[in-house]
Structure 1
Amino acid sequence: MVDTVYMTTDSVRDTLVQAGVELIEESETTDISLRAIARRAGVSHGAPRHWFPTHQRLLAAIAAEGLHDLAAAVRRGAEQGADDRIARAVGAARAYVDFAVDRPAMFALVFRHDLLEGSGARLRDTSQPLFRWWRDTIVAPGGASPTMPDIDAGALRLWTAVHGIATLSSTTALALIAPTADVGDLVDSTVRALMVETPMVDTRPRPE
């Protein structure tokens, strides 16, 4: 067992969060106990309570790690599209779905607001910037100037469509419903259809 007396607050906290991440990935479920996390971290059963007042608070910290990883994956996916906004959106969407399929339990935890509600953690500080970034991938300089609600609505339609594919794919429901469907092709066609249907272009002045 790790002696936490000689560990800094941040190191114990990080060890507990990492242990939780590992357990969620291995068990493929969000139903992990504080005892299980403490055991994996090598600390006493009561140790987590010193750094996380509630179970939900620790789960929220684990979810924040997942959100960070998801955001990084989506950005890397978008970079494959270079300066083409539709290609960037397709790349980001494919990365989003791949994350859900490769890490289904973490993907589920990130959006378990019923479980994380009341945790006291500010997950919105991570999730809202991700949505704003997602919104900006469908906004290009020049052309017509839609209102901000129009831009948000277009981004929301795109995100909810991709999230639906990701959720169905991560739970294998899509394979049961449409066993011959190619997920990559479905993502590609869905994103391209929505991008053409809602050609969002923003001419608001951008900072130098």
Structure 2
Amino acid sequence: MTDGSSLRERLIDAGVDLVLSEGSASVGLRETARRAGVSHGAPRRYFPTHHALLSAVARRGFQDLGARFEAAVAGTSAPRGQLEALARVYVGYALERRGMFELMFRHDLLDSTPQASDQPRLRESTLPLFGHITELVARCRAEQEDAARRTDRPDEAVPPPAVVAAALWANLHGVAQLWAWGSLQLALGEQPLGSDPDHGQRDRIIAAVLDAHLGPVTP
């Protein structure tokens, strides 16, 4: 690794630390340089704009989340099981790394230009995650249609897999935010923060979300 790439990674490391400890609003070029122990002008060599720095930090978040997704689905091949595993990881990540989670999906803040010659635009690099969810939804749909044919149940008109995946994603994102704020716990009559250490209630909500968008699991 060259000195330049080492410094670039140090600056991103500092930005990640700031996001996790203080939120994305704290990630300025000067503060990131101070946290990395370099001159305040150093970040401009690698990140010409504030958005470019935020995008590099967010890319780290997507790499981390993607690795967690891969580990979560390693033990199951069933599409419904994989979706449930991904959903649990998604909500868990949102609660564990709140600052990063809030930044990652703020595409109104993030740069749309490539950050290096070998990297796509951040907005484009996030699409495979959604594409994977859409693929799993389509596989669940195919299994449901096959089961319907075997039992002579008429097929129901349903939205395309991408629309279902988008609604499922939005629902899970809302669960994550409302749980982080304590709102869901309050609605369910529980302690708003620090409750449900075994994630039982949270997992039941996630299961209900999947049932709502994919239909209940049939024997």
Provide TM-score, normalisation by structure 1: 0.79
1:152 matched to 2:162? The reply is yes
Partner of 1:3: none
Letter in 2 for 1:158: L
CA distance in 1, matches of 2:189, 2:68: 26
Provide TM-score, normalisation by structure 2: 0.76
Alignment of 1:1-208 (within 5 A): 8-27=3-22, 29-32=23-26, 33-80=28-75, 82-116=76-110, 118=111, 120-121=113-114, 122-140=121-139, 144=145, 150-180=160-190, 182-196=201-215
Runs of 4+ in 1 over 4 A off after TM superposition: 141-146
Superposition deviation, residue 179 in structure 1: 4.5
Partner of 2:149: none
Identity %: 35
Alignment RMSD: 2.6
CA distance in 2, matches of 1:40, 1:172: 32
Which structure has more relative contact order (CA 8 Å, sep 6+)? It is 1
Q: How many residues align?
A: 188
Superposition deviation, residue 177 in structure 1: 4.1
Cα distance, 1:48–1:119 mapped onto 2, change above 3 Å: farther
8 Å CA contact 1:64, 1:123 repeated in 2: yes
CA distance in 2, matches of 1:114, 1:177: 31
User: Match of 1:115, SS?
Assistant: coil
